[in-house]
Chain A
Amino acid sequence: MTATTAAPAPTWMSMARSRFVVEIREFVRSREQMVFIFAFPMMLLLLFGSVFGDQVISGDVTFAQYFLPGMIASGILNTGFQSLAMSIAIDRDEDILKRVYATPLPATAFFAAKIAQVIAVTVVQLAILIAIGVVLYDAQLPDGAEGWWIFTWVFLLGTAASTTLGIAMSSLLRNAKAGSAVVTPIVLILQFTSGVFLVYTQIPVFLQHFAAVFPLKWLAQGMRSVFLPESFEAAEASGSWQHPATAIVLALWVIVGLVLAVRTFRWTRHDDN
């Protein structure tokens, strides 16, 4: 009898791809996620835009224009950190992670698929926000190749920091129900102190210092540097866009997030040791 040649095992790439398809399907079929990620930031942008939109912050920059990069930054944080942390916590509670662990899908392929899903969703979300900003609030698009390059690295570093911290946060949540109670306040406090809902230079200095420890302040400032006119740079707290500092702080958070995520991650529930 001739031995049947063993079929080639699926490659890492093909397994990651089929997991990515699962993640995308799960996302687009979840009404809560769709509303939270797409409709909610849109509504906020329109709401703040119509209430405070015409207030001039500095020069000819209105609050609506100032708010757009802030919402882009928080969109990255919401999808990568808040929504990812909660969805992994739910997956763990529901034994979905345990099931994943029981299959041949490598852990790295699983996370690659999760992160690819986060990036795909964030890109769509940002496109919607930018379109609204350009059409309704006269926001300007990033200026030329240099503008888009800055946008891209701020986006990628911000996403990397958010997702690694989101995965780490999911392990700290005792269960999925605790998720929104713990994660939502963290994100809200950062949004108020990091130059999203309020103008960064208009909040007390000690709050500015507090916010400067965390990624959102740098993410928002990085986005302002590409969506606001060059003249606004002087109106920043330090009088500069601080690109090198932004890259360093975000990269440090990526490392912190990565170390925490790897050290704390668990496939099974807390009560299930």
Chain B
Amino acid sequence: MLVRLDPMTAPAIRIAGLHKHYGDLHAVDGLDLEIPRGEVFALLGPNGAGKSTTVEILEGFRKRTSGEVEVLGLDPQRAPKSWRTRVGVMLQTTSSATALTARESVSYAASLYPDPRDVDETLEAVGLTEKANAKAATLSGGQQRRLDVALAIVGRPELVFLDEPTTGFDPEARRHFWTLIEAMRGDGTTIVLTTHYLDEADRLADRIGIIANGRLVALDTPVGLRRRAAAARISWVEDGEERVEETGAPTALLRELLARHPGEIEGLQVVHPSLEEVYLQLIDDASHEARAPEEATS
């Protein structure tokens, strides 16, 4: 049971025992999570892991099967419209089916909030100043996504959901977007983003949650996650043959190699696993675990 807290000071998000079932499919299968105010939180996981379902439950679009959820101290399913002034939402899909210009869209959105950002400043922040008078339908995919970001933040929300915000961005647009998120973090905005890009999560997130088969399989800082892979990989060439060894004590192995080789060690490499490798390992373990009970009963 979640203890009632003051909605103005409660953590940004509290989830306890969240389940969402579609028939036999358990899209979310017992999720617990708390995200404090001001954190940039990245939710990672393969397609179909339950990421978007979880986010859409938090955004109040979907009903949960069971469990408790609080977003800014209120249940999204029962929250009044005033709650919407505190939450910014950027959907996974972009819509170009509007005849409005970028500025008209942002200024309409601004008119719905008690204390909106300046429209031109918002367009500037997402790099759309030059496209302000262009119709949304004529913007490139990346520009439309940036317009979506502008619409999600113009109301000065305390919490912003960004669902796969940079899919389809070119590398430059992605860098630009990262700068924008870092500026918002500076303002104290809580940001929850889902992404497929590990470098993005690594760069932006204070904490990363990895979700697989509807469950949280890891919850840690990017540094902490990387540290989970104990082994480093040392590779070199000896007697014309490529040698690879994984070890939890790379320094010891290196000393030994140095002692054995008086001269240069050909092709020497010491590699620590990337966040990506840790991630793939976690997902892999989770899918084995999910399959194991089925095999036991068959």
Contact = CB atoms under 8 A, between A and B. Distances in A.
Interface of A: 6-10, 14-15, 18-19, 21-22, 25-26, 29-30, 90-91, 94-96, 98-99, 101-106, 267-268, 273
Given A7-B115, A25-B104, A268-B61, 7 more contacts: A19-B108, A94-B95, A96-B95, A96-B98, A98-B91, A99-B91, A103-B155
A105 B110 CA distance: 11
A22 B100 contact: yes
Given A15-B112, A98-B61, A106 B81 contact: yes
Nearest to A17: B111
Given A96-B97, A102-B89, A18 B81 contact: no
Interface string B58-70: 0111100000000
Given A99-B91, A103-B84, A29 B99 contact: yes
B99 A26 contact: yes
A107 to B, nearest CB: 9
Interface string B83-127: 011010101010101111000100011011111000000000000
Lowest 10 CB-CB distances: which A-B pairs, in order? A29-B99, A102-B89, A18-B111, A94-B97, A9-B114, A104-B84, A7-B115, A7-B114, A94-B95, A104-B85
Given A22-B100, A94-B97, A104-B85, A14 B61 contact: no
Contacts of A91: 97
Contacts of A99: 89, 91, 95, 151
Contact of A21 (B62, B81, B108): B108
B82 interface: yes
Contacts of A21: 108
18 contacts: A6-B115, A10-B112, A19-B108, A22-B100, A25-B104, A26-B100, A30-B99, A94-B97, A98-B61, A99-B95, A101-B61, A102-B61, A102-B89, A103-B112, A104-B112, A106-B81, A267-B61, A268-B61
B112 A95 contact: no
A267 B61 CA distance: 9
Interface residues of B, number: 28
Contacts of B81: 104, 106
Contacts of B61: 98, 101-102, 267-268
Interface in B107-157: 108-109, 111-115, 151, 155
Contacts of A14: 111
Contacts of B109: 103
A8 B114 contact: yes
A242 to B, nearest CB: 42
Nearest to A107: B81
A10 B111 contact: yes
A251 to B, nearest CB: 31
B93 A9 contact: no
Given A25-B104, A102-B84, A104-B84, A95 B111 contact: no
Contact of B97 (A10, A90, A103): A90
A227 B298 CA distance: 79
B63 to A, nearest CB: 8
A25 B114 CA distance: 24
B108 A18 contact: yes
A273 to B, nearest CB: 7
A30 B99 CA distance: 7
A2 B97 CA distance: 45
A260 to B, nearest CB: 22
A10 B107 CA distance: 14
A148 to B, nearest CB: 35
A24 to B, nearest CB: 11
B114 A10 contact: yes
A104 B99 contact: no
A98 B52 CA distance: 15
B108 A9 contact: no
Nearest to A30: B99
Contacts of B111: 10, 14-15, 18
A95 B151 CA distance: 14
A109 to B, nearest CB: 9
B245 to A, nearest CB: 50
A6 B114 contact: yes
A14 B151 CA distance: 19
B99 A25 contact: yes
Contacts of B99: 25-26, 29-30
Nearest to B89: A102
B49 to A, nearest CB: 18
A128 B197 CA distance: 56
Nearest to A19: B108
